[in-house]
Amino acid sequence: MATLHVLSHSPFTDSRLSSCLRILGSQDALLLCGDAVYALQDGSAQRQALELMPESIALYALDEDVQARGLVFPARLTLVDYPGFVALSCQYDKVNTWL
Amino acid sequence: MSKSLLVISRQAPWSGPGAREALDIALAGGAFDLPIGLLFLDDGVFQLSSAQQPATLQQKDLSANLQALPMFGVEALYVSQRSLAERGLQDQPSSLAVERLDDSSISALIDRYDQVITL
Amino acid sequence: MTTLNVEGRSLALDKDGYLLDLADWSEATAQALAQREGISLSAEHWEILWLVRSFYDEFQLSPANRPLIKFIAVKIGAEKGNSLNLNRLFNGAPAKLAAKLAGLPKPTNCL
């Protein structure tokens, strides 16, 4: 039962990302959108935490949100568009949106 | 067979509508006989404090409402051990009978439910 | 606005016939509200109404059917706390009607 965790809040203003990383299952995946993509900011502790996740955890981000913010993303990140977002939502057993 | 739903409540009781909305989802699900679990995470653990005096802020008593969960058939109640410890609440009595879970148990808990909603 | 006359006072009701001000409730009010629903309150009704009020006191909300049944069963036994009995007493809509007659807000988790 793999879960796709969807985050959309900045990891610099609240604890969603850090809590999510702690309870992430080994087959789960993370999808960043909105201000949550700031977690990819080079040199930040959040970026480091993402890079240190086990390889089995897939990392996705919404392409337009990453491009808009001019972020340089890590090699393990897969960029997706909205159709890709929908496809991922169907691919995983469930989606946990951190509202 | 109805799908099971885990509600993750991670907002403090007085910060906005999040805590009440999470509780309302759990109560409504329970009223319709859905298998519901409720997990208190992050600031959500403050909802369990038994020393609250909601009348001070002229708000409805969320902690009284929480006590109704078992009556609504919602008895799978959990709290993050880590969230409690981070806030110095590990030794505080809880207003509700909740099972304390470490991070990996929470991960396993999420796995067991068909659907999850985090507020 | 709908009003209900009880012992010379005019009490405000919402569009569904629930008391607007919970403090307006009295036993006479319950009788008058019941009359509007075509119910004559018996000792059996009163037993449930007092229990619904104690549910509200304890949990600060009006029970939906399922918790109402469970609460009654816990307090006075399953012979009375079952849907058959409560449907019989409250025209098939125990949570809504018992809350109304007991002077409580309409239950929110009810269809």
Q: What is the pLDDT along chain A (99 residues), one digit of tens a residue?
A: 799 999 999 999 989 999 999 999 999 999 999 999 999 999 999 999 999 999 999 999 999 999 999 999 899 999 999 999 999 999 999 999 999
pLDDT tens digits along B34-93 = 999 999 999 999 999 877 777 777 677 788 899 999 999 999 999 999 999 999 998 888
Q: Beta strand B36-40 with B76-80: parallel, antiparallel or unpaired?
A: parallel
Question: Are both C47 and C88 inside the same structural domain?
Answer: yes
Question: Are both C28 and C70 inside the same structural domain?
Answer: no
Number of domains in chain C: 2
B7 contacts in chain A (CB < 8 Å): none
Question: Are both C51 and C82 inside the same structural domain?
Answer: yes
Tell me the residue length of chain B: 119
Q: Is residue C95 part of a domain?
A: yes
Q: Is residue C7 part of a domain?
A: yes
C108 contacts in chain B (CB < 8 Å): 24
Residue of B nearest to A26 (CA): B107
Q: Report yes or no: B106 at the A interface, CB cutoff 8 Å.
A: yes
CB contact under 8 A, A22 and B82: yes
Q: Is residue C107 part of a domain?
A: no
- What residue ranges define each of the domains in chain A, with the CATH number in brackets? 3-97 (3.40.1260.10)
Question: Are both C28 and C53 inside the same structural domain?
Answer: no
Q: ipTM, 2 decimals? A: 0.87
* C53 given a catalytic annotation: no
Range of the domain at C49: 43-101
Closest to B33 (Cβ–Cβ): which among C59, C60, C66? C66
- What residue ranges define each of the domains in chain B, with the CATH number in brackets? 5-118 (3.40.1260.10)
- The domain that holds C66 is classified in CATH as 1.10.10.370
CB contact under 8 A, C110 and B31: yes
Question: Are both C17 and C53 inside the same structural domain?
Answer: no
What SS3 string covers B78-117?
EEEHHHHHHCCCCCCCECCCCEEECHHHHHHHHHHCCEEE
CB contact under 8 A, C109 and B33: no
Assess contact for A32 and A60: CB atoms under 8 A.
Answer: yes
